[in-house]
Structure 1
Amino acid sequence: MRLQSVLSRLFPRSFSAKLLAVAFVGIHVPLLLLILWLVGLAELDPRERWTVFAVVLCATLLGTAGTLAVLYRMLGPLRAAADALDVYYAEQRLPLLPEQGEDELGRLLRGINRSLRGIDAGLRDARRHALLDPLTESLNRRGCEQALGNSVIAAGHEGWPFVLFVIDMDNLKPINDRHGHAAGDAVLVRLVETAYGWLGPQDWIGRWGGDEFLIGVHSPEDEATLKLNQWLSMLETQDEAQAPVYASAGSAAHQPGEDAASLYRRADAAMYRAKFSGGRRLVRDGFEDPDTQTLPA
């Protein structure tokens, strides 16, 4: 890379000129020196001619070898660029290619750096949006599955408490029928935005489908339940600008050794118990009387 920097000062805009200069110096300088030496000799006998031949041969071989070695070093940045592309393809690790010089090589390396950064940013954005619900910007079903799996792993390996809530709206259809689907969409957005106000940094909310949401909370069960009840009670507050939101909720606390599918089934079953008991209530898995969990009016 140091040789490239030196040559960039001499030939700032042409990589071809660098190669030609190196080839000229490496091959022709020894021959020019030989010619000057021969000019200084009056006459040569056969023995001296063999000496001259040996000198010419050695000079040519040494010049060629030196030229190839220098050219190999000059092509080092191109090899580094090829290796960087292979590494990014295999590991998605961005390279730090040198960007000095205004010649073809410098522009190429800068272009590779910019292109890979742009591709990487686009891929990250695409992966992020692939896990988000476009309306509410909460997790979509795929994002919920991934977040639930990660939370269960954290609960099992790190010992974190984890509670899963399944939320199903009771009055989205009446809101849509009375105020239009735009109002219903606004209610779903409001539900997610207000949830982010009390969720912790490791917690998450996602739209499982339609008007059903999953919420994962890494807190003790009683603490998580209190926060959820306060949130749902706040959503039921009615004013002129916002329709009240009524919901049925079921919850289940993660048990040692339990997988994500089993945890979801217990929380979902608790939600249906709340729904079939009249709605507007939270039922916790393991509590027999759902009426004791009715949300305040």
Structure 2
Amino acid sequence: MLAQAFAGCFVATHVPIISIAAYVASGATISAQAILVIILLATVAGTAFAFVVMRHLLQPVGELARGLKSYRIEGRIPRLAKQRNDDVGQLTDEVRALINTLEEKLNRLKRQAFSDTLTGLGNRRWLAEVVGSEIARSRREQKALSVIVLDIDHFKSINDAFGHDAGDEVLVAIAEVAKRVLRPYDLIARLGGEEFCAFLPGTNLKEAAQIAERLRSTIAELRLEALKGRRITASFGVHEANLVREQFKDMLRIADEYLYQAKGDGRNRVQTIEIRPAVIQTAPTSASSPEV
């Protein structure tokens, strides 16, 4: 690029001299007026030539600047095509590599910010982000939307009796059960601690309660070696959203209220506004296998 700029400037500055030399060499009658006109025209031509050369050299830099501005303001990744194999081409390559590196780091940070590293599920922040579009679609299509909140029973006693590694194993096992039982389009997240939440698009209260019951029974069947025979159970609150007046936080709060009702009624059960479950009969447990 430097060589091209030097050559362009050299030619542009020498256009008047070359023009005068050509005029003298032509054998025409030399006059001050003619020389003045030639110098003026040659200067204009040289300046125009220099402008064209520099514009050609700097045009890719302007495109880079516009692309970076669009990326900074709109977050849109620019299409940076390498046009030349000079310094500008190397600059284009470096800018493109820098943007790709930034995007990889941003995506990694976004995944960390929106996911639970232990279970691999989304977290509360992720759920709040994605549920908004589901609520809007359910309103638009006039379809039901239900919420399931579950909490592992006596989880603190698991950590106290078997250690936090065993508690983590329980959380991972619950997440795996949820992935198997729920449908591909259902949204499941770990809200924090031992509490999980699922949003079920296109699902009414009765259907959601049935899904919650499948989750409850599957969790109750889990046997983890780390717990040495101790059972795992969970309590559930289920709520069908009122899409006219409820937002995400309202749906979550109401489902949480049903969850606490299930806890108060003895745990290991599903509670909704319409379904008041009977006490679930469980076989007596031995001292080595207490109810969780």
TM-score by length of 2: 0.86
The match for 1:25 among 11, 17, 22 is 11
Contact 2:235 2:263 in 1 (8 A): yes
SS across alignment from 1:291 = coil
User: Are 2:64 and 1:81 aligned?
Assistant: yes
User: Are 2:96 and 1:96 aligned?
Assistant: no
> What is the aligned partner in structure 2 of residue 263 from structure 1?
251
By how many angstroms is 1:253 displaced?
Answer: 0.7
By how many angstroms is 1:29 displaced?
Answer: 4.4
> What is the aligned partner in structure 1 of residue 124 from structure 2?
141
Moved more, 117-126 or 86-95: 117-126
Contact 2:212 2:238 in 1 (8 A): no
Distance 1:64 1:214, change over 3 A: same
Deviations 1:257-290 (A, max 9, x none): 1222222222111111110000000011233x23
Structure 2 unaligned residues grouped into runs of 5+: 284-292
> What is the aligned partner in structure 1 of residue 232 from structure 2?
245
TM-score by length of 1: 0.85
Amino acid of the structure 2 residue aligned with 1:19: A
Alignment of 1:1-297 (within 5 A): 15-29=1-15, 31-41=17-27, 44=30, 48-221=31-204, 222-239=206-223, 241=225, 243=227, 244-257=231-244, 258-287=246-275, 289-291=276-278, 294=280
Distance 1:296 1:143, change over 3 A: farther
Q: Give the Cα–Cα distance (whole angstroms) in 2 for the partners of residues 240 and 137 of structure 1.
A: 19
Contact 2:145 2:201 in 1 (8 A): yes
Structure 1 unaligned residues grouped into runs of 5+: 1-14
Deviations 1:76-126 (A, max 9, x none): 111111111111110111111122433211111111111012112211221
Deviations 1:167-211 (A, max 9, x none): 111032232233221011011011112212233343211122211
Greater than 4 Å deviation, 4+ residue runs = 294-297
By how many angstroms is 1:242 displaced?
Answer: 6.3
Query: Aligned pairs, how many?
Result: 278
Q: Give the Cα–Cα distance (whole angstroms) in 2 for the partners of residues 283 and 237 of structure 1.
A: 20
Distance 1:188 1:239, change over 3 A: closer
SS across alignment from 1:207 = strand
Distance 1:152 1:275, change over 3 A: same
By how many angstroms is 1:238 displaced?
Answer: 4.2
SS across alignment from 2:271 = strand
Amino acid of the structure 1 residue aligned with 2:221: T
Moved more, 122-131 or 75-84: 122-131
By how many angstroms is 1:152 displaced?
Answer: 2.3
Distance 1:200 1:36, change over 3 A: same
Amino acid of the structure 2 residue aligned with 1:137: G
Q: Give the Cα–Cα distance (whole angstroms) in 2 for the partners of residues 240 and 164 of structure 1.
A: 28
Amino acid of the structure 1 residue aligned with 2:154: N
Amino acid of the structure 2 residue aligned with 1:32: I
Amino acid of the structure 2 residue aligned with 1:183: A
Sequence identity, in percent?
29
SS across alignment from 2:182 = coil
Q: Give the Cα–Cα distance (whole angstroms) in 1 for the partners of residues 37 and 63 of structure 2.
A: 39
Contact 1:152 1:254 in 2 (8 A): no
Moved more, 109-118 or 172-181: 172-181
By how many angstroms is 1:226 displaced?
Answer: 2.1
